[in-house]
Amino acid sequence: MIKPLYLARSRRIAARKLGEEILVMSARGSTLFTLNPTATILWQAADGATPLERIVESKICSEYEVNPEQALLDAESLVEDLAKHGILLISEKPIAESSGYGEERP
C-alpha cells in the first residue's frame, strides 16, 4: 500500500495571487515561479493535514476528466518538484502548522 503524502506551504516563500495566477518566490535563491492551474489547486489545498490522494480526488478529479491513478502520479511528481524548490513541504506524516521556517523535506 502506498503511504499517504501530506503537503504544506513553506513559510520561507513569498506569494501573491495576481489575476488568475499565483506568484511564488522561494527564499532560497530568490527564484520566482508562477503556478499553473493544477499547481495552484495543490498549493491552495496544502494544509499539512489533507493527504495528497484526497486532494487529487476532491479537487482535481472532480474538476477535470482524468484517470485518478494517473492524476495522482502526476500530482506526486509536481509536489516533489515544488518541494525541491522549497515551495512546498512534503511528508509521510501530517505537517504541523508551525512548521515551515527553514525546514526542507522532513
Partner 1 sequence: MSALLMAMGERARELGIPFNVHLDLTYRCNEKCVHCYLDHHDHGELTTAEIKNLLKEMAEAGVFILTLSGGEIFLRKDFFEILEVARELTFCVKLKTNAVLIREAQAARLGELGVQSLQVSIYSHRPEVHDSITKLPGSLKRSIAAIRLLKAQGLKVTIANVLMRSNMQDIYGVRALAKELGVECTLDPAVSPMLDGDRSILALNTDESVLREIIHDPSFTPNVEEFCAPPAPASEESMDAFPCSAGHNACYISPYGEFYPCVAFPLSCGNVRQQRFIDIWRNSEQLKEVRSIRLRDLSGCSQCVHGATCTRCPGMAFLEGNMRGPSTADCEKSYARTGIASKNLLAKKDKPSPLRLVQIQLVPAIMGSRLTGIGASAS
Question: Min. distance of Cβ 16 from partner 1 in angstroms?
Answer: 4
* Closest by CA position to 33, among listed 98, 83, 76, 75: 83
* Closest by CA position to 36, among listed 16, 46, 50, 22: 22
The pairing of beta strand 47-51 with beta strand 32-35: unpaired
Is residue 96 near partner 1 by the rule CB under 8 A? Answer: no
Is residue 16 near partner 1 by the rule CB under 8 A? Answer: yes
In the range 34-93, which residues lie near partner 1 by CB under 8 A? 34
Of the candidate spans 16-24, 37-45, 76-84, 87-95, the one that interacts with partner 1 by CB under 8 A turns out to be 16-24
* Closest by CA position to 47, among listed 106, 96, 85: 96
Beta bridge partners of 54: none
Cell of 86: 522549497
Per CB under 8 A, the list member of 1, 3, 65, 101 interacting with partner 1 is 101
Is residue 13 near partner 1 by the rule CB under 8 A? Answer: yes
Q: List contacts with partner 1 (CB under 8 A).
A: 11-19, 21, 23, 25, 27, 30, 32, 34, 101-102
